[in-house]
Amino acid sequence: MSKDCKAPIGVFDSGVGGLTVAREIMRNLPGEDIVYFGDTARVPYGSKSKATVLRYSRQIVRFLKTQQVKAIVIACNTASAYALEDIRKEIEIPIIGVIQPGAKVACETTANGRIGVIGTKATISSGIYTSFMRRQKPDVQVVGKPCPLFVPLVEEGWIKDPITVEVAKRYLEELLQYDIDTLILGCTHYPLLRSTIREIVGEKVTLVNPAYETAIELRELLEREGLSNPAKGKEHPNHCFYVSDAAEDFRNFANSILPYDIEMTQQINIEEY
Amino acid sequence: MSKDCKAPIGVFDSGVGGLTVAREIMRNLPGEDIVYFGDTARVPYGSKSKATVLRYSRQIVRFLKTQQVKAIVIACNTASAYALEDIRKEIEIPIIGVIQPGAKVACETTANGRIGVIGTKATISSGIYTSFMRRQKPDVQVVGKPCPLFVPLVEEGWIKDPITVEVAKRYLEELLQYDIDTLILGCTHYPLLRSTIREIVGEKVTLVNPAYETAIELRELLEREGLSNPAKGKEHPNHCFYVSDAAEDFRNFANSILPYDIEMTQQINIEEY
C-alpha cells in the first residue's frame, strides 16, 4: 500500500457547482479526505475560451499540489472538456474529469441510440461528449443543447419555479423532438434542477448525472492504483474548502447542498499560482 | 491647450455591458478617440467581492495607462461602486464612474422623492447609489433591487421575450409597491431591456440611463480640464477594443449594439498588469 493513500483528493470547479460532485464522493467514498477549490473570483468558465480555461485550470492544479493531493477530480464539465487532456500529460498523479464517466454510462443506458446532452456553451461547442460516445458506440446519435440560463436560475434560488419551468421547456422541447431516450446533465449545477427537468422530459428519458458516475470511477481508480484510504467509513473525514473570492457566499451555498454544515472556507489568491 | 488633448479616453467594463456607455460617448463626444477594455476572462463582476473587483480594476487601469489615455471612465456599475474611490487617489489623470452621474440626474428628476435602483447584487448591496443621492437630497427614499437574471437574459439574446417579461415583472413589481417615480438602470446591460422595463413600470416612472449621463459628465470634465480633443466631429475617430478573452464573441456582440461595425478586437493577458 502506497504511503500516499492517506492523502486527500483534490476536487475543483469554477465555483459552487462542483459541490454536487464532492457530495457524491463523500457519499460513495466516505473514508476519503477532500480538498475542494472553487474559483469564485473567475466563475463562470462556461462562456470562456479554451486557452483561458486551461490557464485557470493549471493554476488550480498547482495550488492543489501544494496540498499534497493523491488524485485530482475536475468537477467542472467545461474544465474537463478544455483542460483534462493537456493537464493529464503534465502531472504525475491520476486526474479524472466528469465527462468520460457520464458519456460511458449514457452509452450503456440508451436503447434507441439517441442521446441528448445539456451543458454550458463551452461544453456543448467543444463536442467532447459526442466524441467520447462515438468512440465507445460509433453509431450513437448525439444532440447537444447549451442552457446558459440554468446556472443563474439555480444561483437565484429559483429551483422549483414557474419561470424556471418555462426556461427549461424552451431548452428541452427542442431536444425531445429528436426522440432521445437518455439525457446527460452535462453541467454540475443541473442535478439541482433534476425534478424540473424530469417533469418536462417525462419518465421515458433516463437522466444521467455525471457527478455520481465520476465518484464511482474515482473509487475504481483509487483501488486499481492502491491509493484508497484504509480508514474506510471513518467518522470524521477531513474536508477542506478553498475559494478565490467571497468565502461567505460559498459557505452558505455549500451548506444548502452538502450533507453536513461546513465550518471554514478559506480564500486564496489563485492568480499567484 | 494641453498636449494630452489628442490622447484617447480609456473606458472599461467587466465585459460587453460597458459598450452601452462607449456608445453614448461616441454619440455625444464624436471627436474623441477611445480605448475600450472588456474583462471577458473574469466577467461578471456583479457577484464578486470588493477586494477582488478592486484588484481587477487596478490591473485594468495599469493596462489603460500603457495606452496613454488622458482620462478613464469606469463603465461598470459594480467597479464604480467598489473601485472608483480608491483608484481616484492612486492616479494622476481624471477618472469617473457611472454611478454619480446617474444618481445626480435621478435626484433632479424625482417629484415625490421615491427612487428605485436596479443592478447587480454587488452594486445594490454596496448601497452606493443611496449614499450619493442622500448626500445631494437628504430626504430621498431609495429602494434597491438586485436583478441577477437580466444580464444572462440579455446575453442569451432574449431581449423581447415572454420569459424576460415574466422575470422583469417578478423583479419590478416589488419596487412599484413603493410608489417610485424614477428608476435608475444601474447596470450597463439594462438599457438593452429598456422597452420591456418600460412596459412593466408604465409611463409615470422616469427611467434614468447612467450611460447617457456619464457621457455628458465626461464632456463637461474634459472641457473643464482643457482636455477636449480639438478635432471635434472628425470623420474617423480611432476606437480600439481590447478584451481578456474570446475576442470574436465580443466583436459579434459589439457589432450588434454599436453604431458601426468594429474591425479588430485584440486579446491581452490582463493578469500580467
Check A52 against B245: CB less than 8 A apart.
yes
pLDDT, residue A233, reads 61
Tell whether B170 lies on the interface with A, counting CB pairs under 8 A: yes
Confidence at B2, pLDDT banded by 50, 70, 90: low
Distance in angstroms (rounded) separating the CA atoms of residues B188 and B163? 21
Nearest to B41 among A48, A151, A246 (CB): A48
Is B58 within 8 Å of B264 (Cβ atoms)?
Answer: no
Alpha-carbon torsion B90, B93, B99, B100, what sign? positive
Q: What is the ipTM of this complex?
A: 0.90
Confidence at B237, pLDDT banded by 50, 70, 90: confident
Between B138 and B233, name the one with better pLDDT.
Answer: B138
Q: Give me the active site residues of B, please.
A: 76, 187
pLDDT, residue B263, reads 80
Tell whether A189 lies on the interface with B, counting CB pairs under 8 A: no
Chain A residue at shortest CA distance from B169? A163
pLDDT, residue A1, reads 47
Check A246 against B47: CB less than 8 A apart.
yes
Tell me if A189 is assigned to a ligand binding site.
yes
Q: Which of B75, B67, B14 is nearest to B39 (CA)?
A: B14
Tens-digit pLDDT profile for residues B248-257: 989 998 998 8
Least confident range from A192-196, A249-253, B126-130: namely A249-253
Least confident range from A88-92, A244-248, B193-197: namely A244-248
Q: How many CB atoms lie within 10 A of CB B195?
A: 9
Between the CA atoms of B43, A90, A88 and A218, what dihedral angle is there, to the nearest 10 degrees?
-100
**By percentage, how much of chain B surpasses pLDDT 90?**
89
Asked if residue A245 has pLDDT above 70, the reply is: yes
Tens-digit pLDDT profile for residues A77-103: 999 999 999 999 999 999 999 999 999
Within 8 A of B162 by CB-CB distance, chain A residues are 166
Distance in angstroms (rounded) separating the CA atoms of residues A152 and A165? 14
Q: Is B207 exposed, middle or buried (0-12, 13-18, 19+ CB in 10 A)?
A: middle
Check B52 against A148: CB less than 8 A apart.
no
Distance in angstroms (rounded) separating the CA atoms of residues A74 and A78? 9
Amino acid at B104: K
What's chain A's average pLDDT? 94
For residues A132-155, give the mean pLDDT. 96
Tens-digit pLDDT profile for residues A209-236: 999 999 999 999 999 999 999 776 667 7
Check B246 against A166: CB less than 8 A apart.
no
pLDDT, residue B264, reads 83
Tens-digit pLDDT profile for residues A64-77: 999 999 999 999 99
For residues B162-180, give the mean pLDDT. 96
Tell me if B116 is assigned to a ligand binding site.
no
pLDDT, residue A234, reads 66
Asked if residue A264 has pLDDT above 50, the reply is: yes
**By percentage, how much of chain A surpasses pLDDT 70?**
97
Asked if residue B69 has pLDDT above 70, the reply is: yes
For residues B160-187, give the mean pLDDT. 96
Confidence at B3, pLDDT banded by 50, 70, 90: low
pLDDT, residue B236, reads 77
Confidence at B98, pLDDT banded by 50, 70, 90: very high
pLDDT, residue B232, reads 63
List all residues of chain B from 198 to 257 with a beta carbon under 8 Å from chain A: 244-246, 249
